[in-house]
A and B are shown apart, each in its own frame.
Chain A
Amino acid sequence: MHSYVTISQADRRPMYLQIIEQIRHRIAVGDWKAGDELPSIRALAVDTQVSVITVKRAYLELEREGVIVTRQGKASFVAENVDLGSQLRREELDQHLAAAAQIGRELALTPEELIERLRVQMAEG
């Protein structure tokens, strides 16, 4: 029995976010293709040793984002036409921006000052 998902204790992000990210990753690398059935919430919870409620939350979130589809209230499938590529990258971008915002706060920069610096960076690239 292999774990589809592993929770890291060193990762300070909430568990449901870790699950979401790993499921998206599996889809992104092609392990789970459009139309494939995901493990049931309970099965994933047991295999990963994470609360059912946390997996449920992750699945609900993924469904909200259109990454998966739940049919008949029981089984979940990878959504057709899922375009994760750019979505993953956008997530990555958000993470970097969050880090930049944090530093900006510590330096007591205004959003405008931060945007100006970003403009400089984009112009250079």
Chain B
Amino acid sequence: MSRSVVTRLILKDFYLQWPTLAGSLLLGFASLALALFGGGPITFYVGSVSFLCVLILLNVLLVGSSVAQEKKDRVMLFVLSLPVSTTQYAVAKLISSLLAFLVPFCLLGAAALLVIALTPIPHGLMPLTAAVMMYVCLYFCIFLAVALAGDSALWNTVVIIFGNVTINFLIAWLLSRPSVAVAAKGPVAIWPPEILASLAVEILGSLLALAAALLIITRKKDFL
């Protein structure tokens, strides 16, 4: 009986978040189109930056409004008055936030990679795109973990600032590697070790963050 309550909570979150999802898909595709079909280095630059911004915004809005705001505004108290345990609430939030992020993320990511693959745009861009996008995914998982398992608006803000700043460092670092910079302009997708290392760290880091969050949530004794 209460498993369906968890399902209902997840569906409820989707219903409440769908404007954010739809908006990010729309803006994401628009940015992608600008970057890849704008026909010039400037439009490419502007388009790709806004593409990234859309992903980051999606991340922050999802976790911010669904997890952090619910806690702050005590809407959480309303949901917890329903027949769910505190653990079930947190797990439902984890699942719904993850899915809400991954759906547009994968769609946009796949679209980006596909467009590059099917057009005369240098395929060398693909690994770089993948590495940068996965970083946003890592950022999301860490933010979600901190917001869910922690109770501090301060820490949430720290994660946002940290995430927004370090992504620039990543891009700068990757582009400074000669193997990456050269490969990016090439017609074939090459995966230099820096790219592979980044991807490994990002994927592992995401999984670790989610696992840690789950561990903390299930052991939590005080939800307020």
Note whether A and B contact each other (Cβ less than 8 A): no
Point out residues on B near A: beta carbons under 8 Å: none
* A interface residues (Cβ-Cβ under 8 A, vs B): none
